[in-house]
Each structure stands twice: as C-alpha cells, then as structure tokens.
Amino acid sequence: MGADAAATGHRFIRTTNLPKVFRNGPCLIGYCGSFRMGQVLEHCLAIPERGANEAPEEFMVTRFIEAVRTEFRKQGVLSIEQNKETGGQFLVGYAGRLFSVNNDFHVGDMRDGFDCIGSGAPVGLGAMKALEDLPPRKRLERSLEITAYYVADVLGPFRIESMAF
C-alpha cells in the first residue's frame, strides 16, 4: 500500500510527517482526508479478533466496522447529520485482501485486487491498471509518481508499506 505526503486545503499544500499508511495489528491501513481520523485509526483503534469460522469480508463488515464506528464516536471523528453517521475514507489490507471503507462505512472489495482513494484516485487507478505487469512495489512507486505529475494535491515523498510482517 502506498501514500503520498501532501497536506492540502484552501489551495495550499505542505509536506507532512504524519504517515498516511501504517500497520495496526493485523491490518495495513491507508487513509485520505482527515489527519485526525488517521491518527485515531493508527493509535486508538483496537482491532477486534476474527472468529474462527468468520470469513474476512464478514469480519470487516461486522466486527471491524463496529469497532471503527465506536472509536470514531468516542474520539469525536464521527459526524451525524440528519440521523446519518459518516466517517471517512480509508483502505484496509487484511488477511491478504484489500478492502475500502467509504464515508458511510460501506466496505468495498474490488475484483481487480487494487484500489485508490483521495484526490488522485482517478489517475492512480488508471496508472495501476496500465502498470499491472510490473512487480507490486515498482507498480505502486510508478503509480504514485504519475499521479503526482498530474494531480496538484499529490506530493512526495511517498511511503510504501507491505502486508508482510
């Protein structure tokens, strides 16, 4: 999983030291948007145990999401408008799979095995598809470089983390 180092807002861009991709227990997590949300995911979220007969996707949409919603509520990250809860957008590498979590806590699982989030997502997705013959690390590096070339809100240095412990 790879991430850039941009902190943007109001037509302003800075380079942050805060990692947008990190490990938390058995999960590799990458996020976009709120740095506070990322800090909660990295430092506050306790990843629950998966049941012995529980499939990874079942775990993600039940125990994992409930833990995220509870922690977001506790830490003040959860927004409630018109009786609807919203969180943020992030990716989770878990049990050899890549899941996306959207603002409404929908858990996505893309058939092609890769995903991108944030302002550079459309360019990143195109680059990932075009570079599918490259080894994973090189594919991520080149995809991030291409995305930074075309998207003003994407900035190096890039951080790449692997599920391998």
Residue 89: inside a domain: yes
Residue 124 has a CB neighbour count (10 Å cut-off) of 26
Q: Assess whether pLDDT exceeds 50 at residue 6.
A: yes
Task: State the pLDDT confidence band at 18, using cuts at 50, 70 and 90.
Answer: very high
Amino acid in the structure at residue 83: N
Residue 23 bridge partners (DSSP):
28
pTM attached to this predicted model: 0.95
Read off the pLDDT of residues 96-143 as tens digits, 9 standing for 90 and up.
Answer: 999 999 999 999 999 999 999 999 999 999 999 999 999 999 999 999
Mean pLDDT taken over the chain: 96
Whole domain around residue 41: which residue ranges? Answer: 2-160
Q: Assess whether pLDDT exceeds 60 at residue 165.
A: no
Q: Per the structure block, which two tokens stand in for 63? A: 């125990």
Residue 141: inside a domain: yes
Question: H or E stretch including 27?
Answer: strand 27-32
Residue 48: inside a domain: yes
Residue 71: inside a domain: yes
Q: What is the DSSP letter of 156?
A: S
Q: Per the structure block, which two tokens stand in for 162? A: 């692997």
Q: Per the structure block, which two tokens stand in for 106? A: 């929908």
Q: Per the structure block, which two tokens stand in for 165? A: 């412990």
Residue 84: inside a domain: yes
55, 70, 65: which is closest to 92 by C-alpha?
Answer: 65
Residue 59: inside a domain: yes
- The DSSP string of 55-66 is -HHHHIIIIIHH
Residue 165: inside a domain: no
Tell me the CATH number at 128. Answer: 3.60.20.10
**Domain count within the chain:** 1
Residue 15: inside a domain: yes
